Amino acid sequence: MESVRGRRIVLGVSGGIAAYKSVEVCRRLVDAGAHVSTILTEDAHRFIGPVTLSALSSEPVHTSLWDDTSPIPHTRLGQNADLIVVAPATARVLAAYAMGLSHDLLIATLIATRAQVVVCPAMHTEMWEHPSVQDNVALLRSRGVIVVEPQSGRLAGGDVGTGRLADVDSILNAIDNALSGRTRDLEGLSVVVSAGGTREPIDAVRVLANRSSGKQGYAIAEQALARGAQVTLVTTVDRVTLPGITRVDVETAQQMFDAMTAQAEHADIVVMSAAVADFRPFVAAAGKIKKEGGVPEIVLEPTPDILAALGASKRKGQTLVGFAAETSNLVDNAKGKLARKNLDLIVANDVSAEGVGFSHDTNAVTILAADGSCRQVGLSSKHAIATEVLDSVVKVRSAP
Ligand code: PMT
């Protein structure tokens, strides 16, 4: 977070239950050396008190177009900002910002700025998925606004779904990206990422599967998109996919093999973060195997090794990144895969460690390069891991 030191950041907080998380965003930014001015909308007051944010911000909280001592409060904050982040951003704030309705201090500030803006939507799933909200988000994105996608999980009122404010690490990571100029460093490059776990049919209803949620692969695809790449995501998982990412849905290792080898022909960077089954049933029964027939014997056969095939056909100038999911001898096992599969980088995660690997929102990795260099990244959000992976890719590609 070196990038935020000494920078002027406006933190906009709008009226949603996730407003309490803005306190942590504010604190972490101030701790990292930023000057933080906070704007609280009228609705935000229903969820969080201005005293809390005044105590943590670098100056008293701003709440209205009319209370500020400045003669031009609607432009002062925006003009002086290096970056504006709105967390949480409600459907209403996104709509007002997209339409340029400067009815309050927050929207006026967003319109009166040339600084980079980061919005972090948070709302119920039905609202997030509504075409009006998605259209507004797409419009803002097309104007250069960085959107930190909401996550899935428990929402207010006990509902579960997509719409929860992104975790604080992801928000800080997006701010860090924007301020450190990483924003467009993959411009003009084509990136193919695989995500999720393959499912191998046993019969008409049963599959051999694994616990991959696709979160790590999606985070890499989203980061690559944010950094200007043309992104294709080959996925087994149906998660909200950012407009701008080309998604190819697959289910089995063979389908992922076909999609990845076809996509990789034109790709500059290929990242295999999917968890591919190593074995599949030799024969999948056409119908449902009946219980009455007794315990079935399922004979397995190996699946094609996609990464090894990609390594064998790697073009000059193409960067190939593999993952290694290990439970012991992390570095040695990963080094073996790096060499055997002709990779440029391998991202090794010890999936037996707490909060690491399958399904978690966090991960911890060791990134090993073919030149022998090694970088350890401690427990962080999967977005932060994605940033580190892509930083390593950029480093490898710029090496003489
Ligand atoms: O999806 P999440 O819930 O976010 O979890 C993330 C993750 C744990 C799935 C991810 O971080 C990860 O480790 N992905 C790789 C999982 C894996 O299959 O590792 P492996 O060590 O078995 O395989 C090594 C590499 O070969 C991987 O890049 C894998 O994609 C690839 N492989 C494996 C088998 C196969 N038949 N073909 C392959 O291409």
Q: How far is CA 94 from the centre of its chain?
A: 20
**pTM of the full predicted structure?**
0.75
**Structure confidence by residue, pLDDT tens digits, 20-70:** 999 999 999 999 999 999 999 999 999 999 999 999 999 999 998 877 666
Fold of 190-286+297-398: Rossmann fold (3.40.50)
210 is catalytic: yes
| Tens digit of each residue's pLDDT (9 = 90 or more) over 189-239 | 999 999 999 999 999 999 999 999 999 999 999 889 878 899 999 999 998
**Tens-digit pLDDT profile for residues 341-355:** 999 999 999 999 999
User: How many Cα atoms sit within 13 Å of 263 on the Cβ side?
Assistant: 29
pLDDT of res. 343: 98
Q: Where in the chain is the domain with CATH 3.40.50.10300?
A: 190-286+297-398
Distance from Cα 357 to the centre of ligand 1, integer Å: 10
In the set 80, 177, 210, 349, the catalytic residue is 210
Quick one: 2-180 is in which CATH superfamily?
Answer: Flavin prenyltransferase-like (3.40.50.1950)
DSSP at 143:
T
Q: Which of 194, 323, 347 to mutate to test the pocket of ligand 1 (most atoms within 8 A of CB)?
A: 323
Please list the residue range(s) of the chain that carry CATH number 3.40.50.1950: 2-180
**Measured in angstroms, how far is the CA atom of residue 285 from the centroid of ligand 1?**
27
Q: How confident is the model at residue 384 (pLDDT cuts 50, 70, 90)?
A: confident
263 contacts 234 by C-beta, under 8 angstroms: yes
Q: Is the CB of 359 under 6 A from ligand 1?
A: yes
- 270 backbone dihedrals φ, ψ, rounded to 5°: -125, 130
Look at strands 160-164 and 151-154 and give their pairing.
antiparallel
